[in-house]
Amino acid sequence: MPGSEFVSTAALLGAFGLLLAFSALFSRTMERFGVPVVLLFLVLGMVAGSEGIGRIPFDDYRLAFRVGTAALVLILLEGGLSTSVDAVRRSFAPAIILATFGVAGTAVLVALGARLFGLDWPAALLLGAVVSSTDVAAVFAVLRGGRLNLAPRVATTLEVESGANDPMAVILTTLVTAWILGETTSPWSALLEVPLQLGIGLVVGLLVGWATRRVLLRVRVPASGFLPVLTVAAAFIAFGLATLVQGSGFLAVYVAGIALGNSPLPYRAGLYHVHHALGWLSQIAVFLMLGLLVFPSQLWRVAGMGLALALTLTFVIRPLVVALCLLPLRFPAREIVYLGCVGLRGAVPIILAVFPLLSGVPNALDVFNIVFFFVVVNAVIPGAGIRWLTRRLGLQVPETPRPAAVLEISSTRLLKGELLSFFITDVLAVCGARLAEIVFPARAAVVLLVRGDQLIAPRGDTLLQPQDHVYVFCQLEDRAYVELLFGRPLEGVLEMTAGPKGTPESA
């Protein structure tokens, strides 16, 4: 009856809202323990599923695959927007080796382990391909959400690897699925397909990122809310175009995100906030769907194998593969140990495990159920011990306190100039000086000072003290001089461009 449908829908949405509120309120507590909040939604999905309290029947794998793919596109876009080109340069070699040879090595070793536990070779190879990559959303959530302040090279290697290794896992999964179904031609063509797909994805991602940046700089939208619509559209175009021309759509999205994130954009801070929220909600959608798709009665049959293989991946396979990949690069032993222990799995294996089910691969349901244990174990165990391991290996760098107030300028147009945030320490020449004593460029000034919980209007007699945060406005050509005075900025809030007749246009 219509009335009962409204009641059941209201109950479901109410429960979903309560869990959303709980995850938001207690996310900081959970992230301190390194446990991704999205695991709560996996539990919710199981509780609400056909064998749970909610009794919601859901086994539409095609819908789950499409929704999951769209969610992963948004997750990769957010990861790309948050990745700096400098980080890619610093960690390019180790991250790319881990994202290619590391993924392939992980897939082979997991397949060998699965074969020893009784899976036939096709299912074992399929499982290895599905769980071979780390998850960009889980890694970013634990590293950035938990504010571990890792040594820069280690942090950027983990982040770039997690963003770049999804395409390799997708390629391996599709190749293994095609091989099982007898659709491949030869091993050599499969071997050539990997670099070809990665190359096409890279080119398409760069082109879409460049074109989107041009559009964002030239278009005049009636409201700032249209700009995130354009960047989301760009991500889906990059994925669709690259996939249709036989390239890696996921790599194209990640590269397009990097290209956009490292360009001067209008409404920059607002775009980051929107895409961070979209990425978080996308993770929720994927884990909720996994919970709905999982039938607890089917898990018991593969629980022993799933737990054993997941623990083997966490404590043996991942550390071994990372060591083999990074030893030739002369990485310090403690960094190799750390990178080997932090290999979080999340949304990607869930989505990839659905693909063989849709293709009609034999034993694909067993593989999907085993993936459940990989996702849970590889999210909880490495995550829970990551803070202790970081301190134990001496890879935590001192944390720079964040200001109590964040000053942002939102505009639908690119405005000329930069607003930079600096933390005052004893070693800076400006520490202990009054603003009137500091020689600023003609078009630069301190616009706000944050001291503890106080907001202070800068005046000529304002004294800069240790632990102060100052916001400095300057022109691009004066940035180097300002950084000589105040050190490295904490965050460049927004690049700005003059509106008509030199008047800033804000939205």
From 351, 376, 392, the end of a domain falls on 392
pLDDT digits (tens, 9 = 90+) for 357-394: 888 888 888 898 999 898 888 777 766 677 778 888 88
How far apart, in whole angstroms, are the C-alpha atoms of residue 160 and residue 283?
19
The residue with tokens 């461009």 is 497
pLDDT digits (tens, 9 = 90+) for 47-56: 777 777 767 7
Residue 398 burial class via C-beta count within 10 angstroms: exposed 0-12, middle 13-18, buried 19 and up: exposed
The pLDDT-based confidence of 499 (bands split at 50, 70, 90) is: very low
Q: How many domains, in total, are found in the chain? A: 2
Q: Is 80 exceeded by the pLDDT of residue 405?
A: no
Domain of residue 204, residue span? 2-392
Q: What pLDDT is recorded for position 493?
A: 37
Q: Is 50 exceeded by the pLDDT of residue 459?
A: yes
Residue 397 lies in a domain: no
From 339, 358, 392, the end of a domain falls on 392
Nearest to 199 by CA among 248, 256, 240: 248
CB-based burial, 35-52: b 16+ in 10 Å, e otherwise:
bbbbbbbbebbbbbbbeb
Instruction: Tell me how many helices (H) and strands (E) the chain has.
Output: 20, 5
Nearest to 161 by CA among 146, 176, 143, 147: 143
Tell me the mean pLDDT in the region 129-147.
Answer: 73
The residue with tokens 């948004």 is 74
Phi, psi angle pair for 127, to nearest 5°: -60, -45
Three-state DSSP at 471 gives: strand
Residue 450 lies in a domain: yes
User: Which tokens go with 315?
Assistant: 């404590």
Contacts of 506 (CB under 8 A, 6+ apart): 409, 410, 411
Q: What pLDDT is recorded for position 184?
A: 62
Give the rounded distance of the alpha carbon of 302 from its chain centre: 30
Residue 494 sits in a domain of what CATH number?
3.30.70.1450
How far apart, in whole angstroms, are the C-alpha atoms of residue 323 and residue 332?
10
User: Which tokens go with 164?
Assistant: 């770049």
Nearest to 449 by CA among 469, 427, 466: 469
Q: What pLDDT is recorded for position 111?
A: 95
DSSP conformational letter for 414: P
How far apart, in whole angstroms, are the C-alpha atoms of residue 214 and residue 265?
9
From 354, 377, 392, the end of a domain falls on 392
* C-alpha to C-alpha distances, 353 to 44, 126, 128, 276, 384, nearest whole angstrom: 20, 9, 11, 25, 25
Both 385 and 457 in one domain: the answer is no
The pLDDT-based confidence of 241 (bands split at 50, 70, 90) is: very high
> How would DSSP label each residue in 322-361?
HHHHHGGGT--HHHHHHHHH-----HHHHHHHHHHHHHT-
Lowest mean pLDDT among 27-41, 46-60, 332-346: 27-41
Contacts of 439 (CB under 8 A, 6+ apart): none
How far apart, in whole angstroms, are the C-alpha atoms of residue 232 and residue 406?
26
Residue 400 lies in a domain: no
Both 476 and 383 in one domain: the answer is no
The pLDDT-based confidence of 26 (bands split at 50, 70, 90) is: low
Residue 399 lies in a domain: no
Both 133 and 186 in one domain: the answer is yes
Q: What pLDDT is recorded for position 47?
A: 78
Contacts of 193 (CB under 8 A, 6+ apart): 171, 175
The pLDDT-based confidence of 494 (bands split at 50, 70, 90) is: very low
Beta bridge partners of 421: 471, 491
Residue 410 lies in a domain: no
How far apart, in whole angstroms, are the C-alpha atoms of residue 353 and residue 46?
17
pLDDT digits (tens, 9 = 90+) for 299-328: 888 889 999 999 999 899 999 999 999 988
Both 368 and 443 in one domain: the answer is no
The pLDDT-based confidence of 498 (bands split at 50, 70, 90) is: very low
User: Edge to edge, what strands does the sheet with 445-451 contain?
Assistant: 454-456, 445-451, 469-474, 418-423, 491-495
Which is more confidently placed, 167 or 213?
Answer: 213
Neighbours of 293 (CB within 10 A): 24
DSSP conformational letter for 393: T
Both 311 and 435 in one domain: the answer is no
Residue 426 lies in a domain: yes
Nearest to 335 by CA among 357, 319, 346: 319
Three-state DSSP at 423 gives: strand
How far apart, in whole angstroms, are the C-alpha atoms of residue 266 and residue 406?
18
Both 333 and 451 in one domain: the answer is no
Both 191 and 235 in one domain: the answer is yes
Most confident of 235-244, 266-275, 400-409: 235-244
pLDDT digits (tens, 9 = 90+) for 173-223: 988 998 888 876 566 666 677 788 888 999 999 999 999 998 888 887 776
In the chain, % of residues over pLDDT 90:
21
Both 31 and 134 in one domain: the answer is yes
Both 230 and 351 in one domain: the answer is yes
Contacts of 116 (CB under 8 A, 6+ apart): none
Considering the entire predicted model, what is its pTM?
0.80
Q: What pLDDT is recorded for position 206?
A: 95
Lowest mean pLDDT among 115-129, 304-318, 391-405: 391-405
Both 384 and 434 in one domain: the answer is no
Tell me the mean pLDDT in the region 327-354.
Answer: 85
Tell me the mean pLDDT in the region 264-280.
Answer: 82
Q: Is 60 exceeded by the pLDDT of residue 497?
A: no
Residue 413 lies in a domain: no
Q: What pLDDT is recorded for position 277?
A: 85
Q: What pLDDT is recorded for position 27?
A: 61
Nearest to 55 by CA among 6, 7, 8, 3: 8
User: Both ends of the chain: CA-CA distance in Å?
Assistant: 47
Both 51 and 129 in one domain: the answer is yes
How far apart, in whole angstroms, are the C-alpha atoms of residue 446 and residue 427?
19
Q: What pLDDT is recorded for position 3?
A: 57
How far apart, in whole angstroms, are the C-alpha atoms of residue 472 and residue 422?
8
Residue 325 sits in a domain of what CATH number?
1.20.1530.20
- Are the C-beta atoms of 111 and 127 separated by less than 8 Å? yes
The pLDDT-based confidence of 351 (bands split at 50, 70, 90) is: confident
DSSP conformational letter for 133: S
How far apart, in whole angstroms, are the C-alpha atoms of residue 289 and residue 292?
5
Residue 335 lies in a domain: yes
User: Which tokens go with 108?
Assistant: 């082979």
Both 380 and 427 in one domain: the answer is no
Beta bridge partners of 491: 421
